[in-house]
Chain A
């Protein structure tokens, strides 16, 4: 258990509304990531953070923004949700010790109607 929680776990929202997903970790890891999972695509990186207020774009960042004002929290915002953003969103951390593997939260299932 990497001490990662995500909220909400499920959300249904309407097209055009803003949505914020939260990832919270308890172990002060520097690196945090947001992915989306869609059938046939595996996981694709949206944004990542390498420290407080330090973030960068991933492969599928269009339509998403992130913020990290505290080490423990990494927020993903959909400014104006679209149906193509219906997906399962996973947060991950990288401990930074040997191996460089990532550990994942339980996910948030987002449906945009």
Chain B
């Protein structure tokens, strides 16, 4: 069975500081991994995805994530936070077939001026 944990339900950073949102997964098969962002009162938007190609994945809005099999992690980073990055971020895992798409509980990112 697939599962996802996200360390920290709420993370605060200063504008211009590094953003690091943590995601660890459990999967019995090689996983596909995803990060989504949700702005207030909106649906989820795909930020980036890992599908067994390059382990360092670049996404939209300057975000990137690195797949580390030995650590079962897929942490999301951005070198310099903007106020517009304030949102909720969800990590998700699926089997390579697309079955069993499971979301983590989410991390709310606040960006302080």
- State yes or no: do A and B come from one complex: yes
Residues of A at the B interface (CB closer than 8 Å) are 31, 33, 40-45, 90, 94, 96, 98-107
Question: Once the chains bind, are B43 and A100 in contact (CB under 8 Å)?
Answer: no
Complex alpha-carbon distance, A107 and B41, angstroms: 8
User: Would A99 and B43 be within 8 Å (CB), given that A42-B104, A43-B103 are in contact?
Assistant: no
New contact pairs (7) apart from A31-B98, A42-B103, A106-B42, CB-CB < 8 Å: A40-B9, A44-B103, A45-B101, A90-B44, A96-B98, A104-B44, A107-B42
**Least Cβ distance of B39 to chain A in Å?**
11
B49 part of interface (Cβ distance < 8 Å)? yes
Complex alpha-carbon distance, A31 and B4, angstroms: 23
Among A33, A40, A42, A90, point to the contact of B43 (Cβ < 8 A): A90
Q: Which of B1-52 contact A (CB under 8 A)?
A: 4, 9, 32, 34, 36, 41-46, 49, 51
B90 (CB) vs chain A CBs: closest residue = A42
Q: B80-110 vs A: 1/0 string, CB under 8 Å?
A: 0000000000100010111001011110000
Chain B: interface size category: 20 to 34
Residues of B at the A interface (CB closer than 8 Å) are 4, 9, 32, 34, 36, 41-46, 49, 51, 90, 94, 96-98, 101, 103-106
Among B44, B49, B51, B96, point to the contact of A43 (Cβ < 8 A): B44
B96 (CB) vs chain A CBs: closest residue = A100
A107 (CB) vs chain B CBs: closest residue = B43
Complex alpha-carbon distance, A55 and B53, angstroms: 31
Question: Once the chains bind, are A101 and B46 in contact (CB under 8 Å)?
Answer: yes
Contacts of A100 in B (CB 8 A): 32, 51, 94, 96-98, 101
A42 (CB) vs chain B CBs: closest residue = B103
A-B contact pairs, 7 of them (CB 8 A): A42-B90, A42-B103, A42-B105, A99-B49, A101-B34, A101-B49, A105-B43
B97 (CB) vs chain A CBs: closest residue = A100
Contacts of A107 in B (CB 8 A): 41-43
Q: Which 8 A-B pairs have the closest CB atoms?
A: A100-B98, A42-B103, A104-B43, A104-B44, A43-B103, A42-B105, A106-B43, A99-B51
Contacts of A33 in B (CB 8 A): 101
